[in-house]
Homo-oligomer: A and B are copies of this chain.
């Protein structure tokens, strides 16, 4: 039994109204793996880096009991690098630099000891690579969660639609749900997307929380109102990692457990944005997480006498 996370492990350089960083470690698999590790101790990552990637960062994965056998290190090559600048509203950003480097011909390797994968998190990558991972697993995992973005809808829609048929849960934001479905109403968008393959759809709305659609039900999760969002990078990946990590811990996949998984994922995302990069996500205590989840309970719960 294990949780396998595929995605980027990379360098980011980030500028927000609060400051800017040099190259720091980021990537979807980094954030999602770290977030999942707080809930499930058999988390394994599949990714690729160059020989410029710091050994200490790989040790940090091990400190979080994350298996890195599936993390390829390409000698003589450089890690994926992304640089971006957030606008004042923190909801939009400009990409300044994208250097694919090792990602250009990423051929994911699934080590033999990853074949016990029961929970698979497909972080944002080309739909083709996401699909390859599914095909290279001998047994179909119990739950496959797929994250993607508008970029792949623009340039690889057919591959995306093909991969969508193979997954259980899709996580996208509201603009992407509208783009993928061609529907403005999120209810109509969800109904359409749920005919494309996934049995569950999570629509991430940033500061407005998230919606879960599936089993003919809808769950609306709040976001924690924050005085300051320091750096939104990785929030969606932390959410996804917390979500699937919690489900892997619980073991049973159903709508009720998914509701809680969304709350735990949202809690991890709310930590992520408090500092630059993975800084906050690397040093969380169980008590901090439980207190944060309790804040979500207080925020959302009400009791109406029947």
Interface residues, chain A, with chain B CB atoms under 8 Å away = 88-89, 184-188, 191, 205, 207-209, 211, 217-223, 225-229, 256, 259-260, 263, 293, 297-304
Closest 7 CB pairs of A and B: A220-B222, A208-B208, A259-B302, A187-B227, A187-B225, A220-B299, A260-B304
Q: Do residues A187 and B226 form an inter-chain contact, with CB atoms below 8 A?
A: yes
Chain B positions within 8 Å of A208 at CB level = 205, 208-209
Chain B positions within 8 Å of A227 at CB level = 185, 187-188, 191
Bound-complex Cα distance A208 to B184 (A): 14
Q: Apart from A185-B228, A191-B227, A218-B225, what are 4 other A-B pairs with CB-CB below 8 Å?
A: A185-B226, A260-B302, A263-B304, A300-B302
Chain B positions within 8 Å of A209 at CB level = 208-209, 220, 222
Chain B positions within 8 Å of A304 at CB level = 260, 263, 293, 297
Of the residues B184, B185, B219, B256, contact of A299 by C-beta under 8 Å: B219
Chain B positions within 8 Å of A225 at CB level = 186-187, 211, 218, 220
Chain B positions within 8 Å of A222 at CB level = 209, 220, 222
Listed by A's residue number, 15 A-B pairs whose Cβ atoms lie within 8 Å are A185-B226, A185-B227, A185-B229, A208-B208, A208-B209, A209-B209, A211-B225, A219-B299, A219-B302, A220-B225, A259-B302, A293-B304, A300-B300, A300-B301, A300-B302
